[in-house]
Structure 1
Amino acid sequence: MSGLFLFLTALIVSCSIQVSSAATLDKLKEDWKLYMEECERNNSLYPPSTGPVCNRTFDKYACWPDGLPNTTVSVACPWYLPWHYKVQNGMVYQECDANGLWVTAKNTSECDSDDSRKYYFEHIRIMYTVGYSLSLVALVLALGILIFFRKLHCMRNNIHMNLFASFILRALSILIKDALLEANHTLQDFSRDQVQAFPSASSPVELLDNNVTSISCRMAVVMMQYSIMANSYWLLVEGIYLHNLLVITVFTERNYFKIYLYIGWGTPLIFLMPWVFVKHISEDHECWEQNINMNYWWIIRAPILLAVVINFLIFIHIIKILVSKLRAHQMRYTDYKVRLAKSTLTLIPLLGIHQVVFIFVTDEYTSATISLRHTKLFVDLFFSSFQGLLVAILYCFVNNEVKVSKALQF
């Protein structure tokens, strides 16, 4: 108990310096006790795991589920922290060693009351919200133009339309997911305050509201994962189509379109369904946005990485073909460089080549290096959120074929 007293005393001192002098030691102890009881109750819902695992536990700071050997386990910042509203999107990380024992040191940096980190994540969210919102508007307009002008209906533009639709679905699902996550956290905070003030006041209606919110939140997360995979595979379809145009001498487009549809919209379902099953069985917590067991996350991550790698190899091959074709035209060196640079820069957003930058920098690797994790987060979210806007501009709004069709129509 002496260790617990020192821990709580340190927290209240930190709270008085960084947050507010209004958070008393009694209030902190009460919240900490409720968190501990909640942890023990949740951990008792499932039978003990068999085999070498790091056992579920409450280590006087955070509630840990079972962890597999040689993995990094992450959980949300404890809600009893007086500054939790500042770090509610942060995570605590702890290593489970090869022997199934928790490593003593854990990474709590994301849960510290650090205003600079708070502002950083707020700015990141504002940035990608603006990016996805602009992309959504541009893509809806671009998709409408391609659908409206019948002269634009061909295999290439049909693939573009499906790609635009996948970008629209991705932007919508991410914006809806963020809104539902915020609503879910607000509801949890409100319910927790009610429980603390009136421990026996929970009604069936309130419980039903909580369940409905959690289900809708999980559905949004599932839809987001599907749309991200579908978007990755439609980018892959764009790469396969361009490669076939350049390489295959006799290319019958109609024979391939159904295959493209299966790849773009069907392949994600093959991986999404087992991920949903695993999350429901083993990690049925809150909105499913947390990846406690990183091995389960590979069900989603592996097919996306595979699509990115294949598209990058296709991109390199297409660039080699373009170089050989440009050289064969015997044009001036300056014209050659300009056309090659223009073609390369145009292909990068269409094929999602920017994703290669941090492809091998996994979440497990960045968990120990905060600066690298923040850099990866910014680069990924910036390019992913504005990619749809760039694709809509390049392949619709400034496309000469679209301009000619609009001029002829009017």
Structure 2
Amino acid sequence: MDGVCRNSFGLLNVSMFHAYTCSLCFTYLFPRANIHAERNNSKESSIDTKSPEYICDSLGEHDCSRWKECCKAAEQCCQHQLKTAVSSPESNLCPRTWDGLRCFDDTAAGDTVMLSCPHYIKYGNMQGNVEKYCTENGTWALHPVTGKEWTNYSGCVDIQSMSGGAYAEVSANTFSLLLLVPAVAIFLAFRQLRGQQRIQLHVCLFLSFILTSILNLIWEVVVHRDRIQNRSEESFMFRQQNSCKLINILGRYARATTFFWMFCEGLFLHRLLVHAFRNPRNIRPYLLIGWIGPSVPIFIYSMMRWKFANDLCWVQNAGGFEWILYTPNLLSIVINLIFLMGILRILLTQLHQHPNEPSNYRRAIKATFMLVPLFGLQLFLVIYRPGSSQWLNIYEIASKIIIGSQGGVIALVICYFNGEVIACLKNTLRKLEIFKSKRHSLVTNYTVVSQRFRDNDTVVREKTEMCEMENIMLTETKNNVNGNI
């Protein structure tokens, strides 16, 4: 066995083993990825597919690092096999091997080897274990469908954590919808509110969050949860790839509109301060920025994905292409941070001019509390994604809650805690109470009048009956007198 190493497909010399196992790493880690290259129509064009730089051109930086770590682990496995003494054929041991992701030593028949999950598996559970069974006849267990050597990696997929993230996503977006939809209805119901340009911008921002929450819920229910509960070949992601890509890209557009509208909110408030609270003539430029602006990077990203990274449902990280969407979103948050600093500077200047007025301190705290979620600055809390699996699950759940509930928090601050909105609602309730009291008074008066009419009718009826009785008695008396005569 000198000079050869074993993988799940048999014995190979060292150089062939390295090339073959590296290709297996790529296949297992990125089952739906494509290696892209410029090809001429002639069949003579050749590509150096052994170059790591060539492979990494089709992957993001993080995925490239994962692939290289897998290749390095395979190389170390081969070195370990070469240094370990060869067991005799009569020992009835399952042979040492590389299964494509993990290295296994010689194992006694009937034993099950348990190893920790490799860290380069995407979304893997690092606390889980890989299991490989050596049968009684000294051969590795075979997969019941493919008939090839098989390793059980189900313990490396943390279904519970993935389900927890899905529940967090659904709960946060449902919370936002339950607050955003009534908030829009309130803004549109009162004429004194919907006529203000500031409120019109708020409505557009709320609509962008409503659209985002709806598409997030569709993604979680139709795509994500379906993929967790069903086999890959039976899932919506595999069966309806074009529909899945459409849902994905619409969700990204909706998410981008929230960033653009948060920028519009910051720009509008900044202009008010700079121009001494003089409102602009109309909000058409803001409408173009908020709704049309995001479509430009989304269109460019879609074209790049379609041509260069057209993988399954576009869920894999596309490397540098992702910055087509990340850049305008990040710029929106950074510019809003600059706007917030300018607003706080003005408030602090007022505090220095009137240091003995507590109301100024309350105004500064209130403005900060209101503008942080409105400008999306809380997203800085989840801007860094940890690489350690120990904190990754906590990060995923926390980021889904913070991002998904942002619309609901903004609705609370801008609508439900707004003194002007509260005053409008109180006036409406007061009018309803007055209307009810008037209606009750009218009903009561009507009842009294009706009762009086009924009482009068009774009196008249009784008087009429008495008159009739008197007439009858007089008539009978006259008849009796005449008869006696």
Is this a same-fold pair by TM over 0.5?
yes
* Identity over aligned pairs, percent: 22
- Within the alignment, does 1:347 sit opposite 2:347 as a pair? no
Aligned position for 1:390:
409
Mapping of 1:11-410 within 5 angstroms?
A: 43=34, 66-68=55-57, 71-74=60-63, 93-95=66-68, 104=72, 107-108=120-121, 110-112=123-125, 114=127, 117-153=158-194, 154-182=196-224, 185=227, 189=231, 191=233, 213-249=240-276, 251-255=278-282, 257-291=283-317, 293-332=318-357, 335-359=359-383, 361=384, 366-367=386-387, 369-371=388-390, 373-374=392-393, 376-409=395-428, 410=431
**Contact 2:32/2:312 (8 A) holds in 1:** no
Cα separation, 2, equivalents of 1:269 and 1:69: 25
Q: Is the 8 A contact 1:55 1:67 kept in 2?
A: no
User: Structure 2 vs 1, CA of residues 109 and 278 (structure 1 numbering), >3 Å: closer, same or farther?
Assistant: closer
Larger Rg: 2
Question: How far has the Cα of 1:130 moved from its partner?
Answer: 0.6
Task: Check whether the contact 2:170–2:217 (CA below 8 A) recurs between aligned residues.
Answer: yes
Secondary structure in 2 matching 1:249: coil
- In 1, distance between residues paired with 2:351 and 2:66? 52
Distance 2:29 2:394 in 1: 35
* Correspondence for 2:456: none
Where does the alignment leave 5 or more consecutive residues of structure 2 unmatched? 11-23, 74-118, 129-156, 432-485
Distance of 2:262 and 2:47 partners within structure 1: 41
TM-aligned CA distance change 1:264 to 1:342, over 3 Å: same
Secondary structure at 2:63 match in 1: strand
Secondary structure of the 2:6 match is: helix
Q: Which amino acid counterpart does residue 110 of structure 1 have in structure 2?
A: Y
Structure 1 unaligned blocks of 5 or more: 8-32, 58-63, 76-91, 97-101, 194-208
Change (3 A) 1:403 1:358: closer
Cα distance change, pair 315–3 in 1 and its aligned pair in 2 (3 A): farther
Once the two structures are superposed, residues 102-137 of structure 1 have per-residue CA deviations (whole angstroms, 9 ceiling, x without a partner) of: 962572273347469543333232122211111011
Q: Would the alpha carbon gap of residues 181 and 301 (structure 1) be closer, same or farther in structure 2, given more than 3 Å must change? A: same
Aligned equivalent of 1:201: none
- Shifted more, 107-116 versus 229-238: the winner is 107-116
Letter in 2 for 1:3: R
Change (3 A) 1:183 1:164: same
| Pairwise CA distance, 1:407 | 3.0
1:242 CA drift (Å):
1.1
Further displaced range: 172-181 or 378-387: 378-387
Residue identity in the other structure for 1:172 = I
SS in structure 2 of the partner of residue 254 of structure 1? coil
Rounded to whole Å, the distance in 2 between the matches of 1:52 and 1:379 is 44
CA RMSD of aligned residues (A): 4.0
Q: Which amino acid aligns with 2:381?
A: V
How far does the alpha carbon of each residue in 1:322-365 deviate from its partner, in whole angstroms, 9 at most, with x for none?
12123334434x55443322221111111111123354x3x6xx
Q: Is the 8 A contact 1:140 1:168 kept in 2?
A: yes
**Counterpart amino acid of residue 317 in structure 1:** G
Show CA shifts across 1:68-117 (max 9, x none): 29952539xxxxxxxxxxxxxxxx93359xxxxx9625722733474695
- The amino acid of 2:308's aligned partner reads S
Q: Quote how far apart the aligned CAs of 1:39 are.
A: 8.1
Whether the aligned pair in 1 keeps the contact of 2:205 and 2:258 (CA below 8 Å) is yes
Cα contact 1:128–1:381 (8 A) shared by 2: yes
Q: CA deviation at 1:309?
A: 0.7
Q: Which amino acid letter does the alignment assign opposite residue 245 of structure 1?
A: L
Matches of 2:5 and 2:28, distance apart in 1: 20
Inter-partner Cα distance in structure 2 for 1:183 and 1:121: 9
Structure of higher RCO (CA pairs closer than 8 Å, 6+ residues apart): 1
2:251 & 2:164 partners in 1: Cα distance? Answer: 21
Post-superposition Cα deviations, 1:4-30, rounded to whole Å, max 9, x if no partner, equal 2499xxxxxxxxxxxxxxxxxxxxxxx
AA aligned opposite 1:344: T
3-state SS of paired residue (1:402): helix
Equivalences, count: 334
CA distance 1:348–1:250, change in 2 (3 Å): closer
Q: After superposing the two structures, state which structure 1 stretch, 145-154 or 184-193, moved more.
A: 184-193
Letter in structure 2 aligned against 1:290: Q
Query: 2: CA distance between counterparts of 1:39 and 1:373?
Result: 20
Q: So what's the TM-score if we normalise by structure 2?
A: 0.59
Cα distance in 1 for residues equivalent to 2:276 and 2:175? 39
